[in-house]
């Protein structure tokens, strides 16, 4: 197993929150952030089409989102480590609020593109601060040996549940509004064409984002950070980026985690790109296929939520987080293989096997995530925690983009699925051997013996709060 860090200092800036309260607030934040995004999944393409956008323009909108998120992933992770978790999360919520408003009301291409870009920036801002706040708070209350898997698993489950519920709401609201005769025409006439039934989920998502911002500002206390200036912030962020890029080179366990995230990106790219076409082919029309895919996506999110809930149990059953990641990725490999082996037939048996494989992919990814992050948080300290999470997210996104482009150029059939399965299998094999313990910390532990220290993510230790009790903190 990995080395254990020196006990962290308890900071009064966390509001004296115990582990259970911090866990509930982390779960709530995760749910509120992802619910509006889930609501946009079912109606996004249809809304843009209704606004008169062609397929090439729609693809460009989503490219703006992906490229913005990838480009800003590391800078915004470093920003969270410099100015704090809560302000970065609040900024992310405000950006999403603006983005959903632009998408819901925008009839021009530039407005939609701007909204998608802001949403990508918000996605980059959000990938780490909430989880980093939770881990910081738990460590401040109970020390670095406190259980993290349960909270991380529930946060991941809340994310999946929000996406599942949001998908159903986003697909169902326009349908429900269409049941009332003339309501859609009344909305369009009253608002000059700005509001149509398909835009209602995005506008409702903007309202939810307002609730998210209020909750973040009121419910996530953190220690005050040293007074800083714009110059110091701009100087600290590049240092955090450089530190994040060095993470994999400095620690073999972190390198495994990053490579595993890359493998997960390949799996998700294959599933998200190839499944809608299979659903349409099965149903015979694009419209009915889209409806089936919405239901299947909802089921996938629920499987991911179940996997996240089972993550602590899998770790106990297999003997630790490392073995749990190995078993979970094996499940993902099996699911992708089943999807690949059933591409040439649409018999009821083959369809059942394919749906089972789809569920196994999300179940395995859901179980792997909390155990990977449990290992990650025990390997990095608070000053670089959000940066480390951003590097992990960037690894997934970049490989997913490349794998998606590659899968799109391959001939249809089992090959794209089996290549994705091979990538995940390679990621699983990284965990066959246990990682070496972290380098020992040269100072004494509370019991007088040597202890192991987490790998600091970079030179940002001076930005950590100083209002702490005088006992040991990680080096």
Closest CA to 118 of 203, 193, 167, 61: 61
In whole angstroms, give the CA distance from residue 464 to residue 444: 22
**Which of residues 326 and 44 earns the better pLDDT score?**
326
**Helix 19-41 vs helix 200-219: angle between axes, to the nearest 10 degrees?**
160
| DSSP secondary structure string for all residues of 227-279 | P--HHHHHHHHHHHHHHHHHHHHH-HHHHHHHHHHHHHHHHHHHHHHHHHHHH
Please report which confidence band the pLDDT of residue 457 belongs to, taking 50, 70 and 90 as the band edges: very low
- Average pLDDT score over residue span 154-162: 85
| DSSP secondary structure string for all residues of 101-156 | HHHHH--SHHHHHHHHHHHHHHHHHHSSHHHHHHHHHHHHHH-TTS--HHHHHHHH
User: What are the structure tokens assigned to 157, written together?
Assistant: 């489950």
139 has a pLDDT exceeding 50? yes
- Percent of the chain, pLDDT > 70? 77
What are the φ/ψ torsions at residue 226 (nearest 5 degrees)?
A: -55, 145
Mean pLDDT of the chain: 77
The bridge status of strand 440-444 relative to strand 450-452 is: antiparallel
455 has a pLDDT exceeding 80? no
Helix (H, G, I), strand (E, B) or coil at 443: strand
Please report which confidence band the pLDDT of residue 332 belongs to, taking 50, 70 and 90 as the band edges: very high
382 has a pLDDT exceeding 60? yes
Q: What is the pLDDT of residue 14?
A: 57
Q: What is the pLDDT of residue 152?
A: 80
In whole angstroms, give the CA distance from residue 391 to residue 177: 42
In whole angstroms, give the CA distance from residue 298 to residue 285: 20
Please report which confidence band the pLDDT of residue 227 belongs to, taking 50, 70 and 90 as the band edges: low
Decide if 233 contacts 82 (C-beta within 8 A): yes
Average the pLDDT over each of 236-240, 309-313, 325-329, 363-367 and give the range with the smallest value: 236-240
54 has a pLDDT exceeding 90? no
Please report which confidence band the pLDDT of residue 209 belongs to, taking 50, 70 and 90 as the band edges: very high
In whole angstroms, give the CA distance from residue 40 to residue 437: 43
User: What are the structure tokens assigned to 319, written together?
Assistant: 């003997």
CB atoms within 10 A of CB 432: 9
Decide if 385 contacts 457 (C-beta within 8 A): yes
In whole angstroms, give the CA distance from residue 204 to residue 39: 9
Q: What is the pLDDT of residues 228-248, one digit of tens each?
A: 655 666 666 666 666 666 766
Please report which confidence band the pLDDT of residue 456 belongs to, taking 50, 70 and 90 as the band edges: very low
447 has a pLDDT exceeding 60? no
In whole angstroms, give the CA distance from residue 128 to residue 364: 21
Average the pLDDT over each of 74-83, 208-217, 341-350, 432-441 and give the range with the smallest value: 432-441
Q: What is the pLDDT of residue 449?
A: 38
In whole angstroms, give the CA distance from residue 12 to residue 20: 17
Decide if 13 contacts 189 (C-beta within 8 A): no
Helix (H) or strand (E) holding 440: strand 440-444
131 has a pLDDT exceeding 80? yes
Decide if 323 contacts 431 (C-beta within 8 A): yes
In whole angstroms, give the CA distance from residue 194 to residue 107: 7
Q: What is the pLDDT of residues 264-314, one digit of tens each?
A: 888 888 887 777 778 777 877 654 665 677 788 888 888 988 888 888 899
- Average pLDDT score over residue span 412-417: 85
Q: What is the pLDDT of residue 471?
A: 28
| DSSP secondary structure string for all residues of 421-442 | HHHHHHHHHTTSSPPPPPPEEE
Q: What is the pLDDT of residue 359?
A: 93
Closest CA to 36 of 203, 160, 271: 203
Please report which confidence band the pLDDT of residue 59 belongs to, taking 50, 70 and 90 as the band edges: low
Q: What is the pLDDT of residue 446?
A: 33
Residue linked to tokens 């909390």: 370
Average the pLDDT over each of 67-81, 84-98, 298-312, 322-336 and give the range with the smallest value: 67-81
Q: What is the pLDDT of residue 437?
A: 59
**Which of residues 142 and 311 earns the better pLDDT score?**
311
pTM, rounded to two decimals: 0.65
70 has a pLDDT exceeding 60? yes
- Average pLDDT score over residue span 181-200: 79
């Amino acid at each position: 197993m990995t080395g254990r860090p020196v006990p962290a200092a308890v900071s009064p800036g966390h509001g004296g929150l115990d582990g259970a309260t911090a866990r509930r607030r982390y779960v709530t934040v995760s749910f509120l952030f992802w619910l509006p995004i889930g609501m946009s999944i079912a109606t996004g393409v249809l809304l843009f089409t209704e606004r008169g956008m062609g397929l090439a323009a729609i693809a460009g909108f989503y490219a703006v989102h992906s490229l913005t998120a990838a480009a800003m992933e590391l800078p915004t992770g470093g920003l969270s480590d410099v100015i704090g978790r809560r302000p970065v999360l609040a900024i992310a919520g405000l950006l999403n609020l603006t983005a959903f408003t632009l998408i819901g009301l925008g009839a021009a291409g530039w407005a939609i593109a701007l909204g998608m870009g802001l949403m990508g920036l918000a996605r980059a801002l959000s990938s780490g601060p909430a989880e980093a706040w939770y881990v910081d708070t738990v460590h401040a209350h109970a020390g670095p040996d406190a259980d993290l898997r349960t909270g991380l698993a529930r946060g991941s489950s809340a994310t999946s549940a929000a996406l599942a519920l949001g998908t159903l709401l986003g697909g169902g609201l326009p349908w429900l509004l269409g049941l009332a005769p003339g309501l859609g025409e009344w909305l369009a006439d009253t608002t000059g064409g700005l509001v149509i039934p398909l835009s209602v989920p995005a506008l409702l998502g903007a309202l939810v984002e307002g609730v998210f911002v209020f909750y973040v500002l009121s419910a996530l206390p953190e220690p005050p950070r040293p007074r800083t200036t714009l110059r110091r912030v701009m100087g600290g962020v590049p240092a955090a980026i450089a530190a994040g890029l060095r993470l994999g080179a400095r620690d073999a366990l972190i390198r495994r985690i990053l490579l595993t995230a890359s493998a997960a990106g390949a799996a998700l790219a294959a599933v998200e790109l190839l499944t809608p076409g299979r659903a349409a082919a099965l149903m015979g029309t694009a419209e009915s296929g889209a409806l089936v895919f919405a239901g299947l996506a909802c089921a996938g999110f629920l499987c991911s939520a179940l996997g996240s809930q089972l993550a602590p149990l899998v770790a106990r059953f297999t003997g630790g987080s490392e073995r749990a990641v190995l078993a979970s990725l094996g499940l993902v490999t099996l699911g992708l293989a089943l999807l690949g082996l059933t591409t040439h037939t649409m018999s009821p048996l083959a369809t059942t096997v394919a749906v089972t494989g789809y569920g196994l992919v999300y179940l395995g990814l859901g179980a792997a995530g909390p155990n990977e992050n449990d290992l990650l948080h025990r390997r990095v300290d608070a000053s670089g925690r959000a940066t480390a999470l951003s590097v992990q997210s960037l690894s997934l996104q970049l490989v997913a983009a490349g794998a998606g482009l590659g899968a799109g150029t391959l001939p249809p059939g089992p090959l794209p699925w089996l290549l994705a399965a091979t990538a995940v299998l390679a990621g699983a094999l990284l965990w066959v051997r246990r990682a070496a313990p972290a380098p020992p910390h040269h100072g004494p532990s509370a019991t007088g013996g040597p202890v192991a220290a987490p790998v600091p993510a970079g030179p940002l230790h001076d930005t950590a709060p100083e209002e702490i009790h005088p006992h040991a903190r990680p080096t």
